[in-house]
Amino acid sequence: MDLFETFFNLEVLARSFPMLLKGLWLTLQLGAASILAGLVLGLGLCMMRLYAARPVQILTRVYIDVFRSIPLLVLLIIVYYALPFVGLRLSPFVSAMAALTMVSGAYTAEIFRSGIEAIPRGQFEAAAALGLGHRQTMTDVILPQSIRMVIPPLTNNSINVVKDTALASVVAMPDLLKQATQAQALAANPSPLIGAAVIYLAFLLPLVLLVSRLERRLNRGKA
Amino acid sequence: MPGYISIRNLHKHYGEFHALRGIDLEIARGEVVCVVGPSGSGKSTLIRCINRLEDFSADSAIRVDGVPVLPGSNLARVRAEVGMVFQSFNLFPHLTVRENIMLAPRRVRRTGRAEAAAQADRLLERVGLAAHAGKYPSALSGGQQQRVAIARALAMEPQVLLFDEPTSALDPEMVGEVLDVMRDLAQTGVTMVVVTHEMGFARQVADRVIFMDGGEVIESAPPEAFFSAPREARTRNFLHAVLDH
């Protein structure tokens, strides 16, 4: 058996393709749901971290630091295998989404914070001097400017989330990677794994390139 | 009699630094006051206390139209009555010129969109920028941006206008256009407090000139007396330094 037959066996690939597509669909659902929930969580955490009462600020900071430090795989296994001991039994999808969201929210909060802190003080002062309240200052003046700045790091984070969905295969979620490993076992041939890798690349590589372009454009605007 | 703006025993500390050392100042309704002095004398800090962009110590008191300038729900109300123009313009870069002017009336006064837009266009006409309503601030010169900032402050129909060195960040050839707008405003009866280095403007437009140094008000006099017969030695030294060179 030559290398091509082993890793790029078209017959095996064609047979496993429907399985891979099913896995891809689940991967995308999990990725999208976790990214969106992470954005909402992150914005909320960021606002608490910057503007809540002092004790809440400290708690938020602890949350953010802990969830940026913990390996996602460890968190996922705790959610899926440990929580049932206290009566909380979550499906593989919900477990994976919860773990991804908790971590993504922590990173997103820091990204939003950097975006808000990059806005000059004069913008806050001008809004305050006009009589705008805190909420209006945020929604009408600060966040619209911050969002532009944080689009590249947010996209980066989203890429990470999609990549990390592959960890969900350890809690028996039939995502793209899980489908590929099953197809590989079934066919006794690793071509489906290569197929999965190509599919991941096909989705994520354009996003990586997009981030580079956005960053270049943003830096050009600064100069 | 307490003035329209009443400042009593105003103290401000930045850590160890005592920036304002007990300022007492009464400003009448419609009065135009220019505050001059060397940099670091506390003049910007003083006017930033009037709308409480700077916090000040609890034993100090500032009232605008009788309303104490305290943190809390009153503060936004005071700020809506007190317009401010900054040295660095601080226009909102993501909004067009017209939208910059419309924002506060729409959000704070709940003015309708069409009405706010019409008002913005009238104000732009007044500061000579009617043709630029749809542009973004970055497309305008410094002098034009500062005139937009004045129009933006006027949109709230404030009783008081604070100017924090409005021409200091401008190229020399643009200073005049901004001062002209301010001169027109001074005729309208709005109360103005202007921190400035433009002695010519102070002499012609102010009802009263205040000289600050070291966090204190050293001298306060009508412009004639202030410039031709300053009483205090420190005022004389300052005027000598800025006028004769």
Task: For B81-114, write each residue's pLDDT tens digit.
Answer: 999 999 999 999 999 999 999 999 999 999 999 9
ipTM score above 0.85: yes
d(CA B220, CA B231): 10
Contact assessment for residue B61 and residue B99, using Cβ atoms and an 8 Å cutoff? no
Pull the structure tokens for residue A87: 């009566």
Mean pLDDT across A139-156: 92
- Model confidence pLDDT, tens digit, residues A76-134: 999 999 999 999 999 999 999 999 999 999 999 999 999 999 999 999 999 999 999 99
pTM over 0.90: no
Burial class (CB in 10 A: 0-12, 13-18, 19+), B145: buried
Is the pLDDT assigned to residue A223 strictly greater than 60? Answer: no
Instruction: Give me the torsion for CA of A113, A118, A121, A126, rounded to 10°.
Output: -90
- Binary contact (B80, A130; C-beta < 8 A): yes
Q: Given this model, what pLDDT does residue A222 score?
A: 47
Tell me which chain A residues have a C-beta less than 8 angstroms from the C-beta of B92. 123, 126-127, 141, 145
Give B7-35 as a 3 state SS string.
EEEEEEEECCEEEEEEEEEEECCCCEEEE
Amino acid B80: pLDDT: 86
Contact A144/B at CB under 8 A: yes
User: What does DSSP assign to residue A49?
Assistant: H
For residue B216, the cross-strand partners are: B213
pLDDT tens digits, residue range B166-218?
999 999 999 999 999 999 999 999 999 999 999 999 999 999 999 999 999 99
Rounded distance between C-alpha atoms, residue B190 and residue B207, angstroms: 12
Q: B1 pLDDT band (50/70/90 cuts)?
A: low
Nearest CA distance, B125 vs chain A (angstrom):
21
Q: Is the pLDDT of residue B10 over 60?
A: yes
| Residue A204 pLDDT | 92
Interval B5-25 mean pLDDT: 94
Residue among B134, B167, B169, B161 nearest B50 (CA):
B161
- In tens, the pLDDT along A10-39 reads 888 888 899 999 999 999 999 999 999 999
Would you call A141 an interface residue with chain B, using a CB distance cutoff of 8 Å? yes
* B90, B94, B103 ranked by CB distance to A125: nearest: B90
Smallest CA-to-CA distance from B147 within B206, B91, B79, B205 is with: B91
